């Protein structure tokens, strides 16, 4: 009798099984020998997404634990407010720390609400252990973690992950605890780092100079989030340091996100003419017109995406029209306030590469959907 699945080659089964959640892979491995072989081959596990919201304790049978060795890129989702989901996530990170020296990429995402006064110590401890064991790790994305990240974690990454290419620490926490000193040590320990996401207070002039060093590998992307009190108090990053960095890495793209916690005087310190801003997101409690005009005059050659959350005004409309006329390379513009018709006309007329926009002429129910340009 022909076993189920023998009609299909193992590589075809593997292509199917790689899209299954963990529970589905475990069930497939129990069907027959052919399916078990396909479900446990490295191609199925190379890029793995795990949601601990759906797949709780007991989600990985013992006979599949060896498959963790095959994971190169992992995206792990969990709900910090649900104990089974949280425990499953920490257990999996701990298991990975002991089994997967070949892990190349890790992205952590939290869903749902974070419990009040939750420091996430259990999650961060398991992540700390993993970073100490994953010597081949190249990409680490922690933007989806709602916990305060600190110097100890950054220093562990610097010590344990010398092959790192990208690191994103610019998460949504309202407290910044990563200091410029640990970031500088990270840059020295990870010479091939080419993409970095930070809160503004974590960056220093010395770090910019280190990135601009003649022997530095090409640096491509820098995301800066300005959202917590530490960012508002951060010393200015001088324009000449930005200019030197841009000369050393002419392809560098900077993404700036300015949140309501940033006062007006801090905004003027952040927006320096030589910063190669490719994406600018403004959600300020104070003046927005000035930053939009500044971007129009200084970021015309580099700006590709603009997002504005502000109160509608004639002055803002005029500033947006000026920006549209100067920034011909824009791909996206999203304004979450009502604008006049001439603003929409300006972007459609002056930005031939525009791919999507949110420019509403009348108030609509939220969420506002962007318009895609054919």
User: The CATH number of the domain where 11 resides is what?
Assistant: 1.20.1280
Q: Is residue 95 within 8 Å of residue 68, measured between CB atoms?
A: yes
Q: Give me the number of domains the chain comprises.
A: 2
301 lies in a domain? yes
152 lies in a domain? no
In the block, tokens 């680490």 appear at 140
Residue 65 burial (C-beta neighbours within 10 Å; 0-12, 13-18, 19+): exposed
Q: Are strands 356-359 and 371-372 parallel, antiparallel or unpaired?
A: antiparallel
Which pLDDT does position 5 carry in this prediction?
A: 44
71 lies in a domain? no
309 lies in a domain? yes
204 lies in a domain? no
Which pLDDT does position 240 carry in this prediction?
A: 97
102 lies in a domain? no
Give the pLDDT of the chain (374 residues) as one tens digit per residue: 445 545 678 888 888 888 887 777 777 887 888 888 888 777 888 888 888 765 544 555 665 667 777 888 999 999 888 888 888 889 889 888 887 668 899 999 998 887 777 788 999 999 999 999 989 999 999 999 999 999 999 999 999 999 999 999 999 887 788 999 999 999 999 999 999 999 999 999 999 999 999 999 999 999 999 988 889 889 999 999 999 999 999 999 999 999 998 888 889 889 999 999 999 999 998 899 999 999 999 999 999 999 999 999 999 999 999 999 999 999 999 999 999 999 999 999 999 999 999 999 999 998 999 999 98
* Distance from C-alpha of 153 to C-alpha of 198, rounded to nearest angstrom: 14
Q: Which residues contact 200 (CB under 8 A, 6 or more apart)?
A: 224, 225, 226, 231, 234, 270
Which pLDDT does position 1 carry in this prediction?
A: 42
210 lies in a domain? no
117 lies in a domain? no
| Domain housing 27 | 1-44
Q: Is residue 315 within 8 Å of residue 296, measured between CB atoms?
A: no
């Amino acid at each position: 009798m022909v076993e189920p699945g023998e009609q299909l080659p193992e590589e075809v089964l593997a292509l199917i099984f790689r899209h299954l959640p963990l529970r589905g892979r475990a069930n497939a491995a129990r069907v027959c020998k052919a399916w078990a072989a396909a479900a446990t081959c490295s191609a199925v596990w190379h890029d793995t997404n795990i949601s601990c919201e759906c797949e709780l304790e007991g989600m990985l049978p013992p006979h599949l634990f060896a498959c963790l060795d095959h994971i190169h890129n992992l995206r792990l989702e969990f709900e910090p407010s649900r104990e089974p989901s949280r425990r499953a996530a920490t257990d999996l990170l701990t298991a990975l720390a002991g089994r997967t020296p070949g892990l190349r990429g890790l992205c952590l995402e939290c869903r749902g609400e974070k419990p009040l006064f939750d420091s996430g110590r259990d999650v961060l401890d398991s992540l700390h252990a993993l970073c100490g064991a994953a010597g081949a790790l190249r990409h680490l994305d922690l933007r989806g973690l709602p916990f305060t990240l600190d110097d100890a974690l950054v220093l562990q990454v610097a010590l344990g992950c010398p092959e790192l290419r990208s690191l994103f620490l610019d998460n949504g926490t309202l407290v910044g605890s990563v200091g410029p000193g640990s970031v500088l040590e990270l840059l020295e320990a990870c010479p091939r780092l080419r993409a970095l996401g930070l809160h503004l207070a974590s960056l220093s002039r010395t770090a910019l100079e280190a990135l601009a060093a003649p022997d530095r590998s090409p640096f491509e992307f820098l995301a800066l989030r300005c959202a917590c009190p530490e960012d508002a108090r951060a010393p200015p990053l001088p324009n000449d340091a930005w200019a030197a960095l841009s000369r050393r890495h002419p392809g560098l793209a900077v993404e700036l996100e300015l949140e309501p916690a940033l006062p007006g005087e801090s905004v003027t310190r952040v927006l320096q003419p030589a910063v190669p801003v490719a994406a600018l997101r403004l959600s300020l409690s104070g003046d927005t017109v000035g930053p939009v005009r500044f971007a129009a005059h200084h970021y015309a050659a580099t700006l590709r995406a603009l997002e504005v959350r502000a109160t509608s005004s004639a002055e803002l409309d005029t500033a947006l029209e000026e920006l549209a006329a100067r920034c011909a390379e824009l791909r996206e513009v999203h304004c979450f306030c009502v604008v006049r018709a001439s603003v929409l006309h300006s972007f459609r007329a002056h930005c031939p590469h525009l791919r999507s926009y949110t420019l509403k002429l009348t108030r609509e129910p939220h969420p506002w959907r962007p318009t895609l340009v054919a």
